[in-house]
Structure 1
Amino acid sequence: MLRIDQTRKIIYYLLNRKRLPLELLVEVQDHMTEQIEAQMKDENCTFDEAFLNAKAYWNEDLTMVNRTWIPTEKKITRIQKETEKSIKGSLLSKSLKIYMALFFAFVALALQFPDVAVYYWVFLQVLVLVSIIFIWIFDWKVMRSTRRSYKKDISFFQNVIRSCFSFASVTAFLSFISYYSSDVNSIYSIAHFIFNINEIAFSTNEIKALQYFLIFFKLIPILYPFISVYCFIRGFLGYQEYKKSIRILVRKINLKL
Structure 2
Amino acid sequence: MNQEHLDRIRDYLIFQKLPLDILLEVEDHMASQVLNIQKSENISFDEAFLKTQKLWESEFKMTTYSAFYSEKIPVIVKKIVKARYNKILKKSFFYALISLAINLLLIYFSNSQEMYTDFFRGQNLVFLLAPGLVWAFNYKIRKYVKKDFKYKGRSFYSIYQQNIGIMVVGTTTMAQIVAKEGKYAYLLFKTNNPESLLFALVTLFLPFIAQMVVIFGILNFFEHKKTLKKLSEFA
Structure-1-length-normalised TM-score: 0.75
Match of 1:193 among 171, 192, 195: 195
Identity percentage of aligned residues:
24
- TM-superposed deviation, 1:166: 0.7
| Counterpart residue number, 1:166 | 168
User: How far is 1:220 from its partner?
Assistant: 6.1
Tell me the residue number matched to 2:36: 38
Q: Residue 22 of structure 2 is aligned with which of 24, 28, 50?
A: 24
In structure 2, relative to structure 1, the CA distance for the partners of 1:48 and 1:247 (3 Å cut) is same
Q: 1:173 to 1:220 in 2, by over 3 A?
A: same
When residues 108 and 179 of structure 1 are mapped into structure 2, their CA distance, relative to the original with a 3 A threshold, is closer
1:15 is the counterpart of 2:17:
no
Deviation at 1:191, TM superposition (A): 6.6
Q: Secondary structure at the match of 2:158?
A: coil
Supply the distance in 1 between the matched residues of 2:214 and 2:188 (Cα, whole angstroms).
23
Cα distance in structure 2, aligned partners of 1:97 and 1:219: 19
- Equivalents in 2 of 1:62, 1:169: separation in Å? 35
Superposition pairs of residues 37-186 of structure 1, within 5 angstroms: 37-68=35-66, 73-113=70-110, 117-152=116-151, 153-163=156-166, 165-180=167-182, 182-185=183-186
- Given that 1:121 and 1:225 are in contact with CA atoms closer than 8 Å, whether structure 2 keeps it comes out as no
Paired residues of 2:121 and 2:180 also in contact (CA < 8 A): no
**Rg bigger for which structure?**
1
Return the alpha-carbon distance in structure 2 between the equivalents of residues 174 and 27 of structure 1: 42
Q: Which moved more, 1:115-124 or 1:43-52?
A: 115-124
Q: CA deviation at 1:49?
A: 0.8
Deviation at 1:126, TM superposition (A): 2.7
Unaligned runs of 5+ in 1: 196-214
Cα–Cα, structure 1 residues 187 and 12, in superposed 2: closer, same or farther, change >3 Å?
Answer: farther
1:88 and 1:244, CA in 2 relative to 1: closer, same or farther beyond 3 A? same
Q: Which amino acid aligns with 2:109?
A: Q
CA shift, 1:32, in A, is: 0.7
User: Which stretch shows the higher mean deviation, 77-86 or 23-32?
Assistant: 77-86
Q: Distance in 1 between matches of 2:111 and 2:169?
A: 27
| SS of corresponding position for 2:71 | coil
What secondary structure sits across from 2:175 in the alignment? Answer: helix
Q: Distance in 2 between matches of 1:219 and 1:104?
A: 14
What letter corresponds to residue 159 of structure 1 in structure 2? Q
Match of 1:250 among 224, 232, 235: 232
Structure 2 gap ranges (5+): none
Q: Separation in 1 of the partners of 2:6 and 2:32?
A: 11
Does residue 229 in structure 1 map to residue 206 in structure 2?
A: no
| 74-83 or 117-126, which deviates more | 117-126
Amino acid at match of 1:76: I
Partner of 2:157, secondary structure, is coil
Q: Which letter does structure 1 place at the counterpart of 2:170?
A: A
Q: CA RMSD in A?
A: 3.0
How big is the shift at 1:31? Answer: 0.7
Is the Cα contact below 8 Å between 1:23 and 1:154 reproduced in 2? yes
